[in-house]
Amino acid sequence: MISNIWLHPALILIIGACAVPFFRGALRVPFLLLIPTLSFGAVLSMTPGVYGVFSFADWELVFGRVDSLSLVFAYIMALMCILGTLYGLHVRDPYQHMAAWFYVAGSLGVIFAGDFLVLFLFWEIMAFASTFLIWFRGRAQSLGAGYRYLLVHTAGGLALLAGIVLHYHATGGDLSFNALDISQPTVATWLILIGFMLNAAVFPLHSWLPDAYGEASVVGAVFMCAFTTKTAVYTLARGFAGMEILIPLGVIMAVVGVIYAVLENDARRLLAYSIISQVGYMVAAVGIGSSLAINGAAAHAFAHILYKGLLFMGVGSVLHMTGTSKFTELGGLYKKMPRTLLFTLVGCASIAAFPLFSGFVSKSMIISAGFYGEHYWATFILLAASAGTFLYNGLKLPYLIWFGESRCSQETYERAADPPWHMQLAMGMGAFFCVLVGVYYPYLYGMLPNPVEYQPYNAYQLAETLQLLGFTALAFYVMRKMLLPIPTITLDLDWLYRKGGLIVLWLARKPIQGADTAVNNAYNTWGLNPLMTVSRFWSWFDWHAIDGVVDGLARTVRGVGDRVRHLQAARIQVNVFTTVAFVAVLLILYVFAN
**pLDDT tens-digit profile of 465-479?**
888 888 888 888 887
Backbone φ, ψ for residue 222 (5° rounding): -65, -40
* pLDDT confidence of residue 237: 95
Rounded Cα–Cα distance for residues 182 and 238 (Å): 12
Res 563 pLDDT > 90: no
DSSP 310-363: HHHHHHHHHHHHHS--BGGG----TTTSHHHHHHHHHHHHHHTT-TTSHHHHHH
Q: Above pLDDT 90, what percent of the chain?
A: 56
β strands within 57-189, DSSP E = 59-66
Rounded Cα–Cα distance for residues 45 and 12 (Å): 14
Rounded Cα–Cα distance for residues 379 and 356 (Å): 22
Instruction: Give Cα 554 distance to the centre of its chain.
Output: 75
Beta strands at 49-56 and 2-3: parallel, antiparallel or unpaired: parallel
Cα first-last separation, the chain: 107
- State the DSSP H helix or E strand holding residue 130, giving kind and residue range, or none if neither: helix 116-135
297 CB burial (10 A radius; 0-12, 13-18, 19+): buried
Res 156 pLDDT > 90: yes
Q: Above pLDDT 70, what percent of the chain?
A: 90
Rounded Cα–Cα distance for residues 295 and 285 (Å): 9
The predicted model gives 37-66 an average pLDDT of 90
How many Cβ atoms sit within 10 Å of the Cβ of residue 552? Answer: 10
HEC letters along 231-274: HHHHHHHHHCCCCCCHHHHHHHHHHHHHHHHHHCCEHHHHHHHH
Angle at 30 between CA 27 and CA 33, to 5 degrees: 140
* pLDDT confidence of residue 521: 76
- Residue 404 CA neighbour count, 13 Å, CB half: 21
* pLDDT confidence of residue 25: 85
How distant, in Å, are the alpha carbons of 51, 59, 412 from that of 48?
9, 23, 52
Yes or no: say if 111 and 301 are a contact pair by the CB < 8 Å rule: no
Instruction: Give Cα 242 distance to the centre of its chain.
Output: 26
**What tens digit of pLDDT does each residue of 268-325 get?**
999 999 999 999 999 999 999 999 999 999 999 999 999 999 999 999 999 999 988 8
> Which letter does DSSP use for residue 480 in this model?
G
Rounded Cα–Cα distance for residues 356 and 373 (Å): 26
- State the DSSP H helix or E strand holding residue 134, giving kind and residue range, or none if neither: helix 116-135
**What tens digit of pLDDT does each residue of 450-467 get?**
998 888 898 888 888 888
DSSP H helical ranges for 171-244? 187-199, 208-213, 218-239
Lowest-confidence region among 121-125, 188-192, 358-362, 514-518: 514-518
**Domain-wise residue ranges, the chain:** 245-488, 499-586
- State the DSSP H helix or E strand holding residue 55, giving kind and residue range, or none if neither: strand 49-56
Rounded Cα–Cα distance for residues 158 and 371 (Å): 37
* pLDDT confidence of residue 475: 81
Rounded Cα–Cα distance for residues 468 and 457 (Å): 16
For residue 392, which of 267, 490, 515, 486 has the smallest C-alpha distance?
A: 267
Instruction: Give Cα 78 distance to the centre of its chain.
Output: 18
The model's confidence at residue 236, banded by pLDDT at 50, 70 and 90, is very high
Res 241 pLDDT > 60: yes
The model's confidence at residue 498, banded by pLDDT at 50, 70 and 90, is low
Identity of the highest mean pLDDT range in 236-245, 399-408, 495-504: 236-245
Lowest-confidence region among 124-138, 202-216, 287-301, 556-570: 556-570
List CB contacts of 537: < 8 A, sequence separation 6 or more: none
* pLDDT confidence of residue 298: 95
Rounded Cα–Cα distance for residues 161 and 191 (Å): 8
* pLDDT confidence of residue 393: 81
Yes or no: say if 71 and 43 are a contact pair by the CB < 8 Å rule: yes
Rounded Cα–Cα distance for residues 482 and 490 (Å): 17
How many Cβ atoms sit within 10 Å of the Cβ of residue 205? Answer: 20
- Region for residue 262 given its phi and psi (left: phi exceeds 0; alpha: psi -120 to 50; beta: otherwise): alpha
* pLDDT confidence of residue 167: 93
List CB contacts of 318: < 8 A, sequence separation 6 or more: 267, 324, 325, 330, 333, 337, 340, 401, 416
Yes or no: say if 200 and 279 are a contact pair by the CB < 8 Å rule: yes
Instruction: Give Cα 577 distance to the centre of its chain.
Output: 99
For residue 344, which of 240, 284, 407, 267 has the smallest C-alpha distance?
A: 267
**What tens digit of pLDDT does each residue of 71-122 get?**
999 999 999 999 999 999 999 999 999 999 999 999 999 999 999 999 999 9
Yes or no: say if 257 and 386 are a contact pair by the CB < 8 Å rule: no
Identity of the highest mean pLDDT range in 39-48, 139-148, 325-334, 410-419: 39-48
Res 2 pLDDT > 70: no
Rounded Cα–Cα distance for residues 317 and 418 (Å): 7
Res 51 pLDDT > 80: yes
* pLDDT confidence of residue 122: 95
Is the link from the previous residue into 442 a cis peptide, with omega within 30 of 0?
Answer: no
* pLDDT confidence of residue 510: 72
Yes or no: say if 247 and 180 are a contact pair by the CB < 8 Å rule: no
The model's confidence at residue 497, banded by pLDDT at 50, 70 and 90, is low
Rg (CA), the chain: 37
Lowest-confidence region among 205-209, 235-239, 240-244, 525-529: 525-529
Rounded Cα–Cα distance for residues 481 and 479 (Å): 6
DSSP 412-476: HHHH-----HHHHHHHHHHHHHHHHHHHSTHHHHTTSSS-----S-SHHHHHHHHHHHHHHHHHH
Res 1 pLDDT > 70: no
Rounded Cα–Cα distance for residues 91 and 220 (Å): 11
Query: Mean pLDDT over all residues of the chain?
Result: 87
